């Protein structure tokens, strides 16, 4: 099945710094989502981005489907950005909502 790899696994930043999280996937996808898992466990939707570039405030994401990767940019990081960031994809083809998750990037933003 499709493999999803995220890097880096861990990241420590000072407040105000910028960061880039990467998601590589091994096959064609027709859905890619970025999530932030809050301390209580809920997955918060950041981007639905099977291709192209989107921006939402200090966050932006780019997916290059032909090269099988996606990037999540966090600018001017804040302590509230801390948590785990997941990339999840759906294999191309078939009507299914089965998401394959990466192992996540644990981000710690220090004041």
Partner 1 sequence: KAGVTQTPRYLIKTRGQQVTLSCSPISGHRSVSWYQQTPGQGLQFLFEYFSETQRNKGNFPGRFSGRQFSNSRSEMNVSTLELGDSALYLCASSFGTNGELFFGEGSRLTVL
> Which region, judged by CB under 8 A, interacts with partner 1, from 16-24, 51-59, 68-76, 83-91?
83-91
Q: Is 104 among the residues that bind partner 1 (CB under 8 A)? A: yes
Which is closer to partner 1, CB of 55 or CB of 76? 55
The residues, ordered by sequence, that sit 6+ positions from 66 with a Cβ below 8 Å of its Cβ are none
The answer to whether residue 101 forms part of the interface with partner 1 (CB under 8 A) is yes
Identify which of 110, 88, 109, 108 has the alpha carbon closest to the alpha carbon of residue 99: 88
- Which tokens hold the place of 36? 């932030």
Q: Which is nearer to partner 1, 11 or 32 (CB)?
A: 32
Give how many residues touch partner 1 by CB under 8 A: 22
Residue in 14, 67, 97, 111 binding partner 1, rule: CB under 8 A: 97
Position of tokens 């981005």? 49
Q: Report the phi/psi class of residue 9: left, alpha or beta, with left for phi > 0 and alpha for psi in -120 to 50.
A: alpha
């Amino acid at each position: 099945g499709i493999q999803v790899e995220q890097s880096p696994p861990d990241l420590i930043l000072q407040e105000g710094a910028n960061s880039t999280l990467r998601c590589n996937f091994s096959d064609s996808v027709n859905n890619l989502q970025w999530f932030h898992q809050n301390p209580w466990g809920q997955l918060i939707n950041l981007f639905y981005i099977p291709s192209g570039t989107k921006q939402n405030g200090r966050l932006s994401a780019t997916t290059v489907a032909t090269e099988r990767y996606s990037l999540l940019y966090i600018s001017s990081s804040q302590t509230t950005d801390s948590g785990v960031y997941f990339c999840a994809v759906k294999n191309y083809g078939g009507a299914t909502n089965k998401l394959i998750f990466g192992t996540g990037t644990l981000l710690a933003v220090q004041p």
